[in-house]
């Protein structure tokens, strides 16, 4: 009987020891799980904070005014210059009111300053020759202005906006002004030097 009692007591002690070991292992597992949860929550909080900081930085960046892009030149000034160049070239060939007035003035001055006793050649030169030369001079000035304006329009993109193409119609009109200026300047020089439309001979 005593042996059975001792054996029962030992079995109970072993069972209690096993239960204690199981409880200890369970407690250890729960503690490890709690630590893991705490670490995970800490990482999640850090991630959330980082995302919040990124969002706030994006909002601040979006709140800043974006630099406005540079406005491309419209080419209005260049177009106006091309048209002016062509108009000046036409005036140099057709004759403007300034040239007409200048010629009439030189004719009047020749009549007033030339005595009636002067030779016919002198009277023709003073009355008509100086007037024609004055008209040719003003035509040459208009032609030179047309030439310089057209060249300035054609050269403008190389200095003001390099790499930006110029409108084709602007280049065409500018080239027309340059061409008319060259022709007008040549005719004015020939007329002023009496190589073209010279005074008639009185002999």
- What pLDDT, in 10s, does the model give residues 48-96? 555 656 665 555 544 444 444 455 556 788 889 999 999 999 999 988 8
Label residue 128 by pLDDT band (50, 70, 90): confident
Phi, psi dihedral angles at 109 (to 5 degrees): -65, -40
How would you label 90-114 residue by residue, b for 16+ Cβ within 10 Å and e otherwise? ebbbeebeebeebbeebbeebeeeb
Q: Is residue 183 part of a domain?
A: yes
**Rounded distance between C-alpha atoms, residue 202 and residue 103, angstroms:** 22
Task: Quote the domain boundaries for residue 105.
Answer: 76-192
Same domain, residue pair 89 and 188: yes
Same domain, residue pair 109 and 29: no
Q: What is the pTM of this model?
A: 0.60
Count of the separate structural domains present in the chain: 2
Same domain, residue pair 45 and 129: no
């Amino acid at each position: 009987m005593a042996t059975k009692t001792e054996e029962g007591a030992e079995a109970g002690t072993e069972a209690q020891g096993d239960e204690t070991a199981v409880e200890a292992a369970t407690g250890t597992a729960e503690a490890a799980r709690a630590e893991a949860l705490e670490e995970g929550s800490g990482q999640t909080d850090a991630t959330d904070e980082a995302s919040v900081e990124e969002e706030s930085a994006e909002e601040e960046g979006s709140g800043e005014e974006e630099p406005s892009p540079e406005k491309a030149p419209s080419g209005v000034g260049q177009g106006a210059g091309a048209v002016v160049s062509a108009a000046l070239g036409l005036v140099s060939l057709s004759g403007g009111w300034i040239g007409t007035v200048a010629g009439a003035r030189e004719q009047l001055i020749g009549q007033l300053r030339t005595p009636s006793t002067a030779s016919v050649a002198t009277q023709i030169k003073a009355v008509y020759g100086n007037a024609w030369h004055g008209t040719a001079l003003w035509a040459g000035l208009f032609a030179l202005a047309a030439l310089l304006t057209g060249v300035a329009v054609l050269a403008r993109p190389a200095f003001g906006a390099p790499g930006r193409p110029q409108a084709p119609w602007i280049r065409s009109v500018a080239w027309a002004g340059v061409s008319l200026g060259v022709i007008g300047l040549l005719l004015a020089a020939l007329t002023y030097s009496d190589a073209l439309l010279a005074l008639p001979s009185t002999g």
